[in-house]
Structure 1
């Protein structure tokens, strides 16, 4: 896993968001073991408590599970991953609509822009 951290935003939220995104994109396979808290913290050069907080949130979302003595693994439940993928998509759409709304675009203008782009996904 490769991360890009922005020191102007909370680090645990960035770790959490980037792991969620990697899971949703399939960059991390279902059932795959992820680095330990200590390994992740050393790799990112951040406090282990920051990584622990992100890992706890992932476990609350049921995207990971900790196996005693073995480590932390991505869920094998594809439905959980599908749910988080759609949640991330909805958040992206909400941000997009809010930004265009702040620029003064109406819903019909936004729809026209999307139609002109042909609904192409990048």
Structure 2
């Protein structure tokens, strides 16, 4: 599910957060799916439950999951992802695209990659329905 790299400069909670976000975005965790409890995930990763709690809280603030008291945490619908995260990702996208163009990639190559990503997402959505 999630793998941690102790040589990574990022804090463990960010690695957990990024791993869970990736699972939600790729469809491995579907909207409404229950995430492992804080204690269960902490135990399986052999880390402190507070680290998992911090990752869950951050993902909830970003709109990737929601928590129901006494029931657990669940993957949120895509419309729940907040605009701040979207704007941040678009800024990263613009910077990356500009650098790729500088390094010799053509606009057509970037367009093809974007279309391929959209097709993969559409297939994932079809498979989930």
Q: Determine if the TM-score, normalized by the shorter chain, exceeds 0.5.
A: yes
Matched residue of 2:53: which SS?
helix
Matched residue of 2:112: which SS?
coil
**Gap runs ≥5 in structure 2:** 118-129
Matched residue of 2:93: which SS?
helix
Q: Answer yes or no: is 1:27 the counterpart of 2:20.
A: no
Shift of 1:93: 3.3
Shift of 1:37: 0.5
TM-score normalised by L of structure 1: 0.71
In structure 2, do the counterparts of structure 1 residues 42 and 96 end up closer, same or farther at CA, with 3 Å as the change threshold? same
Deviation per residue, 1:102-122 (Å, 9 max, x gap): xxx35xx33x2x535872437
Distance 2:78 2:42 in 1: 27
**Gap runs ≥5 in structure 1:** none
Q: Which has the higher helix share?
A: 2
Aligned to 2:4: 5
Number of matched pairs? 113
Aligned to 2:80: 80
TM-score normalised by L of structure 2: 0.68
Aligned to 2:125: none
